[in-house]
Structure formats: C-alpha cells, structure tokens
C-alpha cells in the first residue's frame, strides 16, 4: 500500500451521533490493524470521517487498510484522528444505545448514557490515504464459501519473513473453480471450491490480510473481491479492506504432490487425533516426532523420549499396499486433521522418505501433505 501522505479536508469540527453497537464492532475490527507500537504515531490512530451520508472510521498499517461505514446522524461534517486503543477502551465501557461525537481542533469529545470523555487527537492531514482499488478482475464471492476454504489452508502458511512468498495464501481462480494453497515448506494444504466466479486470476495474499477479512466480514452473505496489479480489495456494504499482494512467483507446489502411493490407509479421524495428542506427550519436544507403523493389522502410533518415556497405540484401519513405517511432526498432522470435517480420512505414503498425503474420505479437491522426519 502506498505510503503517500495526502491532505484531508481542512474542516475538522464534527458533530455526529452513532449506534453504539455498530461502533463497538467497527473498533473491534480495527484493533488488529492499529497495533499501538508503530514508529509513526499517526498509525496508532483511527481516522473518523463524518460526511453527509454517514460516518466512516478507518485504520491502516501501510500494508493493509480497513474502513467501516457506520451510517449515523451527521450534523457537522469533518475529520479527526484519535488513538485507536484509547477510543476502543472507552467505547467498550459504554452501555447506552447511542454515542455522540463532537470535535474542536484536535480534541474529540464523546458522551453516552451520562458518561463523558475527551480524547486528544491529531490532524487528519497526517493520516495516510487508504486507496480504492479500481480496475482489474472483479468477482463476487459467497462469504461462507470463502471462510470455509480459508480455514482449511491458512494454518499452513509460514511466519518466517525470510521467505515472504510463503507467508501468503496462493489464490487461483478460473470461471468454475477457486483454489487456495498455503505452505511453509514442511507441510502444504490445498483446497478447491466451486466458486462460479466467471473470472480468472491468481494472487498471493498475506495470510494476515485474509484472516482479517474473514473476521470483519461479519454477517455479510457475499462480498466483492477485486484484484489489480499489486493490490487486492474486499468490499461489502459496511466494510472495505485493501491490502498489498505479495510480489514474486509462488513455488510450483504441484511437483511435490505424489501421483501414486505404495500404501493407502483409511481410519477414523478422531481416533487418530486423540492418539497423536497423547503420543506428543512422549515425543521429543523440538520436533514433536511420532512414528506411524502400518501393517495388515492397522496402524501403530509410537513415540519416545529419553527423558520422559515411551508410548504406543494400535488403531484399527483398512490398509492397502506394502505398509511400512514413517515419522512425522505430530503437530503438523494434527493441524491438517483438525481442518477435516469427515469422520474418516485417508493416509497415503510410499516409504519413510516420501511425503505423507492426508485427505478427508469421500471429498474431492482437498489434500494435506506433510514432509517426513528423518528417523
């Protein structure tokens, strides 16, 4: 997002009345953007803009910007910025139906239900402009579909800034299908949905941005998604999110997806989750290592630590193929299994050095790959 600081309206006297619950929800949505730790003081503030058609409140960290439209009764138009944390803390302690704002200079006065406060602000002239994304590819998405798809991949994105491209989720859409992919190079999650978006595009979007979008969409049934050059915008009637797109080429992840497997196992998801959680108690802490031993009798899960002891458990399973043993980070497997919604899952591998592939049984377009540990 551009860091250009441009001038806002000079008139900063405001007189408005807002529905308190709407303001609380908006401030809750902005608090993750306003960190309170920025080296630029203005970025710790929220911008309040009162216009004829209502009040807009927004925040930005220069990589992502979020705007909420609150409506309200506007007597006097104007703009002001105030510390987001202070405003949110005060508003969250109010219990009336409405809250009134007035400002004179850089001081905002608030009143609601007999409670009154003033907050020292800063001129809106210093606040960065949050751009509107115009042009590019525009699609309409169902909110429930987006949230469901994102929850199946977001946990696999990296938090290591040394490889920025992996801190995003790869979105690929054509006229019929939308695919989301995330990987931190140790595991990879892919999901495909029938989007019916009528457009083709691809972009790597910061996972933080997508999770923020998921939170602020609220009860909106659908939203507009616009992708243009190095920016993405999501818009509903009440909220707009604008973010940069991560530049660079996403890794060719499809080359690590096995095309066949020597062993295929089907078993109960919850049984495997419970067993892996228990096995983790006795695994080496740094790697959370567990071993899966597959035979005609089912699958045995084992772990051991020279300091803590050892664990083993036999799980019933339908097994096809050679069998064998393979070691994984238990946490990585659990992250994937917890995103499955089917009672059973399929686990495939081709020896101790090959990736493990996990899929929810009976579901097309969903896979989760975990790289093995050296045993």
Residue by residue, pLDDT tens for the chain (375 residues) are 544 333 343 444 899 999 999 999 999 999 889 876 677 889 999 999 999 999 999 999 999 999 999 999 999 999 999 999 999 999 999 988 999 999 998 999 999 988 999 999 999 999 999 988 888 898 899 999 999 999 999 999 999 989 999 999 999 998 889 999 999 999 999 999 987 777 889 999 999 999 999 999 988 999 999 999 899 999 999 999 999 999 999 999 999 999 999 999 999 999 999 999 999 999 877 789 999 999 999 999 999 988 889 999 999 999 999 999 999 999 999 999 999 999 999 999 999 999 999 999 999 999 999 999 986
Using CA atoms, how far apart are residues 72 and 19, in angstroms rounded to an integer?
7
The H or E element spanning position 170 is strand 168-173
First to last CA, the chain: 45
**CB 212 within 8 Å of CB 241:** yes
pLDDT for res 287? 82
pLDDT for res 56? 97
pLDDT for res 233? 96
Using CA atoms, how far apart are residues 219 and 33, in angstroms rounded to an integer?
20
Return the percent helix, strand and coil in the chain, to nearest 5. 20, 45, 35
pLDDT for res 9? 39
Using CA atoms, how far apart are residues 223 and 220, in angstroms rounded to an integer?
7
Look at phi and psi of residue 164 and say left if phi exceeds 0, alpha if psi is from -120 to 50, else beta.
alpha
Q: Is 240 helix (H, G, I), strand (E, B) or coil?
A: strand
Alpha helix positions (H), the chain: 20-30, 84-91, 143-151, 207-216, 269-281, 330-337
Domains, the chain, in order of start with CATH, read 14-126 (3.10.150.10), 137-254 (3.10.150.10), 257-370 (3.10.150.10)
Q: What is the DSSP letter of 178?
A: E
371: tokens are 């790289």
pLDDT for res 7? 37
């Amino acid at each position: 997002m551009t860091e250009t600081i441009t001038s806002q309206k000079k008139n900063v006297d405001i007189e408005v009345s807002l529905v308190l619950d709407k303001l609380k929800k908006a401030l809750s949505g902005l608090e993750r953007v306003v960190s309170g730790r920025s080296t630029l003081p203005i970025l710790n503030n929220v911008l309040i803009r009162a216009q004829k058609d209502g009040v807009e409140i927004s925040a930005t960290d220069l990589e992502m910007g979020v705007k909420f439209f609150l409506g309200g009764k506007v007597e006097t138009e104007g703009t002001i910025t105030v510390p987001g944390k202070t405003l949110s803390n005060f508003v969250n302690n109010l219990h009336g139906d409405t809250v009134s704002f007035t400002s004179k200079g850089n001081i905002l006065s608030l009143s609601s239900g007999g409670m009154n406060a003033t907050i020292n602000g800063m001129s809106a002239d210093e606040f960065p402009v949050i751009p509107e994304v115009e042009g590019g590819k525009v699609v309409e998405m169902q909110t429930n579909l987006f949230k469901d798809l994102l929850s199946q991949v977001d946990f696999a994105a990296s938090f290591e800034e040394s490889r920025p491209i992996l801190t995003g989720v790869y979105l690929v859409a054509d006229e019929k299908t939308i695919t989301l992919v995330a990987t931190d190079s140790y595991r990879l999650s892919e999901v495909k949905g029938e989007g019916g978006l009528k457009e083709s595009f691809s972009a790597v979007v910061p996972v933080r941005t997508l999770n923020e979008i998921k939170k602020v969409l609220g009860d909106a049934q659908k939203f507009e998604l616009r992708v243009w050059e190095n920016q993405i915008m999501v818009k509903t009637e009440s909220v707009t999110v604008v973010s940069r797109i991560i530049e660079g080429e996403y890794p060719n992840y499809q080359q690590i997806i096995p095309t066949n497997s020597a062993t295929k196992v089907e078993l109960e998801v919850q049984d495997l989750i419970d067993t892996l959680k228990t096995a983790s108690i006795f695994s080496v802490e740094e790697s959370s290592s567990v071993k899966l031993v597959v035979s005609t009798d089912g699958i045995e899960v084992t772990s051991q630590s020279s300091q803590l002891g050892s664990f083993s458990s036999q799980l019933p399973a339908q097994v096809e193929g050679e069998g064998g043993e393979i070691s994984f980070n238990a946490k990585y497997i659990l992250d994937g299994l917890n995103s499955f919604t089917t009672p059973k899952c399929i686990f495939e591998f081709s020896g101790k050095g090959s990736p493990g592939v996990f899929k929810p049984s009976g579901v097309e377009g969903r896979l989760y790959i975990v790289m093995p540990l050296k045993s």
